[in-house]
Amino acid sequence: MNDSEDPNDEVQYHIEVGPEDVADSVLLPGNPERVDKVTALWDDAEEKAYHREYRTATGTYEGTSISVTSTGIGGPSAAIALEELARVGADTLVRVGSCGAIQPEMEVGDLVITSGAVRQEGTSKEYVREDYPAVADHEVVSALVAAAERLGYDYHVGLTMSADSFYTGQGRPGFEGFRAAGSDSLVEDLREANVKNIEMEAATLLTVANVYGLRAGAVCSVYANRVTGEFRTEGESRAVETASLAVHLLARMDEVKREAGVDRWHAGLSLD
């Protein structure tokens, strides 16, 4: 590794941002094209870097500083984004994406707010033992719920399964109908265990964030219901708006905590 690849440099090797380029709170969509859709809902924004799958912009939402960095698909690239964002000072990370629902009552366009995740991916296992839980920060979950309520969006809170494969790892057939062992019963087994949805990044982000003492959460729009067979690319802006408002609410929650002299948000505190 030469000096230009040093992960401890101020300007990070993959995401190409430094400490002055990002806010404390960062939204994490997968697709770089979603960055424009995110910033379109903000007061203002400026692109800071675009390298490989990592595109970063920083601006304000309701007067609160906020950033967005695309992570690409899956845990390995998401972990790189988290690592390098943490190195330049980010401490709150919220995945914003799409997912497949696996409970029959969930509608396309609904939101899923992740409370914890099934770690059916490999990246988090390279950080910590397999029985370590992937848990969303309760303040982030609370802020996402409050934001969805204020915006009037239908939402579900619960467990997410994160896979490394879009096809066989999510119970879909592979090339020429190939079926991985256990794939025929995967969705049904998860549904019976009250898992809400399937996607590809949340478990990595939640696990690594907890290892590092960072706040993290996830909100995804339902694009498909794997039980009913319904599919539409709908509701993306709802997840983005909910996450952006949640960051604003988290900033206000942090102010209230400081005023009250407490370290954690709890039911005895009020934003009013």
Catalytic residue ranges: 14, 84, 172, 226
The angle at the Cα of 260, spanning 256 to 263, to the nearest 5 degrees, equals 80
Residue type, 96: V
Q: What is the pLDDT of residue 7?
A: 55
Is position 161 within any domain? yes
Q: What is the pTM of this model?
A: 0.95
Domain of residue 166, residue span: 11-254
Q: pLDDT per position in the chain (272 positions), as tens?
A: 444 566 557 899 999 999 999 999 999 999 999 999 999 999 999 999 999 999 999 999 999 999 999 999 999 999 999 999 999 999 999 999 999 999 999 999 999 999 999 999 999 999 999 999 999 999 999 999 999 999 999 999 999 999 999 999 999 999 999 999 999 999 999 999 999 999 999 999 999 999 999 999 999 999 999 988 888 777 789 999 999 999 999 999 999 999 999 999 999 998 87
> Does residue 55 sit within a domain?
yes
End-to-end CA distance of the chain: 52
Q: Contact 49/21 with Cβ under 8 angstroms?
A: yes
Residue 271 within any structural domain of the chain: no
Q: What φ, ψ does residue 146 adopt, rounded to 5°? A: -60, -40
* Residue 152 domain-assigned (yes or no): yes
Residue 272 lies inside a defined structural domain of this protein: no
**Beta-strand (E) ranges in 62-149?**
64-69, 92-101, 111-120, 134-135
* 218: CATH: 3.40.50.1580
pLDDT at 230: 83
Token pair for residue 70? Answer: 């695309």
Q: Are 60 and 44 contacting, i.e. CB atoms less than 8 angstroms apart? A: yes
**Inside any domain, residue 49:** yes
- pLDDT of 204: 98
Confirm whether 33 is domain-assigned: yes
Q: Does some domain include residue 262?
A: no
Number of domains in the chain: 1
**Residue 73 CA: distances (Å) to CA of 41, 220, 231:** 23, 14, 20
